[in-house]
Amino acid sequence: MWAVSTVTMLVLAGILPDFQLQSADGDSATSIAVTAALGAGAFGLLSAIFWPLLVRLLLLVPALVLGLLVFFLNGSLLIVALRLVPSGDSEAAPETAVIVAAVMSAVASATGAALAVRDDDAYRRRLYRLADRRRRALPPGPSSPGTVFVQLDGVGHDVLLDAVGKDLMPTVARWLGNGNGTGARPTHRLTPWRTDWSSQTGASQLGILHGSNHDIPAFRWYEKAGREVMVCNRPTSAAELQRRAIDRTGDGGLLTADGASRGNLFSGGADEQALVLSIATKRRSRENRSRAGYFAYFSDPANAVRTALSFVAEVGREIGQSTRARVRKVRPRVSRGGLYPFVRAFATVVERDVVVAAVMGDMLAGRTSVYADLVAYDEVAHHSGPCSGDAEKVLERLDRALALIENVAEHAPRPYRIVVLSDHGQSPGETFRARYGLGLGDLVRAGCGLPVPRKARRTHSGAEARAAVRAALRRPVEEGGEQHRPSRRSSEPLVLASGNLGLVSFPDVPHRMTKEEIDARHPALLTTLANHPGVGFVLVRSEEHGGLVLGAYGAEIPLDQLDHNPGPLGVFGPGAADAVRRTHSFPNAADIMVNSAYDPADGGEVLAFEEQIGSHGGLGGAQGKPFLLSPLALSAPVDDGEDLAGAEQVHRVLRRWLRESNGPQVPLEAEPEPEDRAA
C-alpha cells in the first residue's frame, strides 16, 4: 500500500500544476521518488494516528457538515506530511492538497481491498476498522447463534417479490431458492404481515422493538392533555413514546440482552446505540452514544472520502432524474427541489454506509442481537413512486448491503441468522391536492364555513363545501377576511396529515368531541368530508353508538356492526375493521379521523394528504402489507392459515426466535392490558 501510494503521489505531481515534489532548480528522479515515498509514508502515519482523534472531536458536528470537513481535514494532513519531508521542497496549494489527499485515500482503500481478497485474516482486520472501537466484546467464540434484524424501511411484500422476479435483488432471490443456479435450495421463508391502521415507521417500529404501539394513532397527532403536537420522528416525541411503551409493557425492549440498535427511531433497550433518534436529545455519555456510528465509520479516511464522493454523485443523480421527469411531464409528480436532493443522498448513501458498517462491527464483536433500519427506499419512493426506476435502483443497492452483511457473517466469531423485514409498504397515487385542487385543511375549513384561499375556494370541492355550509346554516358563508390567511384561533380546527390518513382536532375542546357536538358546532363538516370523492371513510365518536364510521350517501355504521356490515370499510380488505376499532380505543385518537379513498381496481392507488406520490400511514393498498424474511432454521412466524397481524405480534415472533437461538433469555411478553384484549 505504501508503494502504491508513492506511485499515486508521483502521478498526481506530474498532472497537477500546484503540486510539486521537487525544488525549483529540479531534482534527480531518485530524489523525487524518495520525496514521494517519504511524503506518502508520512501521510499514511498521520492518517492512522491523528485521523481518529480528529473525528472523535467532531462527533457533535452534524453529519452533512462532517462529510464536507472530511476533505479539508484530509488535505490538511497531507500538507503537514509534506512539511515533514526532510528535503523541504515539497508543497501543494490548499485546494490541490484536498484533491491529492482524496485520491490517495481512495487508492489506498482500493489497494487494501485488493490485497485482502485471498486473505481471510486481512479481510477481517479491514472490516474491524469499520467497527466501533469502543464496543464491549463478548467472550471469544460463543457457540449459540446471534441474530441480525435488518429493516428495509417501506419495502412492501409485493415490491420485494417483484424485485426478485426482475433479478434486482439476487441475494434475496438466492435465499428464497430463486437464484440462477439450478436446483437452488431456499434458506429463508417469506411471510407477509398486516400493519395497524397507522402504517408508518413510528407505530410499527415501536411495536416491533418495544412490544407496544398503543395510543399512536398516526405519524403526527395532537394531544389535548398536553396541548402538544406529537411527531414520531421528532427526538423529544420519540423519547416520550419509548418511555410510554416501556411503562406499559414493564420491559426494556427486544434488545435488552446484549443488543445493538442502529439507525432506528427507538432503542429497543439495546446497550449499544448509534444513530438512534430517541436518545438524540440526551447529553452524550458513555452510555448514550447516538453519534458513535459516525465515528466508527469516518475514523477511516478512505471510507469518508468514498462516502462523500458517493454523496455528491447521488445529489447529481437525483437532480438529473427529477429534471428528466419534469421534462417528460411524468404524472403523478411532486416537487423534488430545495434541500431534497441532499436529504435523499444522506438517506441513500451516508445513513446506509454508516449503519451497515455499524452492523458489521457488531457481528465481528459477537453481539447476540442487532436491529438496524435502512431508510433509503422509503425516502426515494415517497418522491419518485414505489415502483419507479429510481426506487428499483435503490433496491439493488440494498441487496448489495445484505450480501455484504452475509459475507461478514462468515468471518464473525459466532454463527449469525439474518432476518430481513419491513415496517410497512407504500401505496402509489397522486396527492389529494393535485387531484382536487385543494388540501384536506382547505376542505375542512370550507366545511366549517371558515375562510379559505381564493384558489381553493374556486375548486369544485371548495364550492360544494361552501354550498353545504350555506344549506346547513341557512345563511351565506362569511366572506370577510378571505383575501389573506387568517390567524389561527383556538376554536379553529387543527388538521394534520400522515400519508393518506388525516386527523382533525379542535384544540379548544379538552375532550374528544362527539359527532353530536361536531354537528352542533359545524353542521356541514362531517357531511362534507364523508361525501367527498377523495375520502374513503371518516371515524368519529358518537354519544349513541360509541364509535361510528361515516361514508358517502349518509352511511353511518357503528363499530360493533362492522363485521356484519363493513360499509365503506369493505373495500379496504380483511383486518380493516379490527384496525379501526383498535385506534378508536386510543385516548389520543383525533376528533375526526379521515382515511382517503382507495380503489383496488385502480392500481391500488390512494390519495396522500401530504405531497407524496408514494405514501403510507393509513389504510389502503400495499402500504399495509410489509414482509418478514426469516431463516428456515427458525420456527414459522405463524401456523398455516393464520395471519400475522400488527407490529405487536411481530414483536412476539422476534422474541420467540431469540429464545430459540439460545441467545438473550428475553422474558415472555407482558400480559395485554384490558383495552387491548377488548380491541
Tell me the pLDDT band of 325, cut-offs 50, 70 and 90.
confident
Among 302-306, 337-341, 431-435, 451-455, the range of highest mean pLDDT: 431-435
Would you say 63 and 70 are in contact if contact means Cβ atoms under 8 Å apart? Answer: no
Q: Is 470 exposed, middle or buried (0-12, 13-18, 19+ CB in 10 A)?
A: middle
Buried b (16+ CB within 10 A) or exposed e, 95-126: ebbbbbbbbbbbbbbebbeeebeeeeeebbeb
Would you say 60 and 291 are in contact if contact means Cβ atoms under 8 Å apart? Answer: yes
Average pLDDT over the chain, rounded to whole? 81
Q: Which amino acid is at 450?
A: L
Nearest to 558 by CA among 526, 532, 584: 584
Q: List phi, psi (to 5°) of 591.
A: -55, -40
pLDDT attached to residue 128? 53
Grid coordinates belonging to 613: 406520490
pLDDT reading at 188 higher than 60: yes
Mean pLDDT of 367-394: 94
Would you say 402 and 418 are in contact if contact means Cβ atoms under 8 Å apart? Answer: yes
pLDDT reading at 300 higher than 90: no
pLDDT attached to residue 222? 96
Grid coordinates belonging to 386: 414505489
The residue ranking higher by pLDDT, 357 or 378, is 378
Contacts of 550 (CB under 8 A, 6+ apart): 526, 529, 530, 537, 538, 539, 540, 556, 568
Rounded to 5°, angle at Cα 46 from 41 and 52: 140
Mean pLDDT of 187-211: 96
- Give CA separation, 174 vs 69, 140, 148, 164, in Å: 40, 31, 18, 9
State the distance between the two ends of the chain, measured CA to CA, in whole angstroms.
Answer: 64
Buried b (16+ CB within 10 A) or exposed e, 166-184: eebbbbbbbbbebbeeeee
Contacts of 656 (CB under 8 A, 6+ apart): 635
Region of 226 on the Ramachandran plot (φ > 0 left; ψ -120 to 50 alpha; else beta): alpha
Cα distance between residue 211 and residue 624, in whole Å: 19
pLDDT attached to residue 669? 45
- Give CA separation, 100 vs 9, 14, 30, 52, in Å: 8, 12, 21, 20
Grid coordinates belonging to 508: 379548544
Poorest-pLDDT segment among 176-180, 455-459, 466-470, 563-567: 466-470
Poorest-pLDDT segment among 210-224, 297-311, 584-598: 297-311
Our measurement of the distance from residue 432's CA atom to the centroid of its chain's CA atoms, rounded to an integer in Å, reads 23
Whole-model pTM?
0.79
Among 19-23, 342-346, 482-486, 496-500, the range of highest mean pLDDT: 496-500
Domain-by-domain residue ranges, the chain?
2-115, 146-429+623-678, 432-612
pLDDT attached to residue 52? 65
Among 137-151, 170-184, 614-628, the range of highest mean pLDDT: 614-628
In this structure, which CATH number among 3.40.720.10, 2.40.30.10, 3.30.360.10, 3.30.530.20 belongs to the domain 146-429+623-678?
Answer: 3.40.720.10
Contacts of 41 (CB under 8 A, 6+ apart): 2
Cα distance between residue 663 and residue 144, in whole Å: 6
Q: Which helix (H) or strand (E) holds 393?
A: helix 389-409
Would you say 206 and 241 are in contact if contact means Cβ atoms under 8 Å apart? Answer: yes
pLDDT attached to residue 670? 43
pLDDT attached to residue 474? 44
The residue ranking higher by pLDDT, 372 or 412, is 372
In the chain, count of helices (H) and strands (E)?
Answer: 24, 21
Cα distance between residue 403 and residue 636, in whole Å: 23
Cα distance between residue 596 and residue 502, in whole Å: 8
User: 3-state DSSP call for residue 97?
Assistant: helix
Rounded to 5°, angle at Cα 271 from 268 and 274: 75
Cα distance between residue 63 and residue 294, in whole Å: 8
Would you say 454 and 539 are in contact if contact means Cβ atoms under 8 Å apart? Answer: no
pLDDT attached to residue 176? 94
Cα distance between residue 538 and residue 536, in whole Å: 7
Would you say 443 and 463 are in contact if contact means Cβ atoms under 8 Å apart? Answer: no
Q: pLDDT, tens digit, for every residue of 65-81? A: 555 555 666 667 767 77
Determine how many CB atoms are found less than 10 A away from the CB of residue 564: 8
Nearest to 372 by CA among 361, 349, 356: 356
Q: Is the Cα dihedral 627, 631, 635, 641 positive or negative?
A: positive
Contacts of 430 (CB under 8 A, 6+ apart): 331, 332, 605, 607, 608, 613
DSSP structural state of residue 348: I
Q: pLDDT, tens digit, for every residue of 631-673? A: 999 999 999 888 999 999 999 999 999 998 864 444 444 444 4
Grid coordinates belonging to 430: 397522486
Cα distance between residue 613 and residue 625, in whole Å: 18
Looking at the DSSP bridge assignments, the partners of residue 598 are 606
Orientation angle between helical segments 94-115 and 29-57, nearest 10 degrees: 90
Q: Which helix (H) or strand (E) holds 175?
A: helix 170-175
Q: Which helix (H) or strand (E) holds 417?
A: strand 416-421
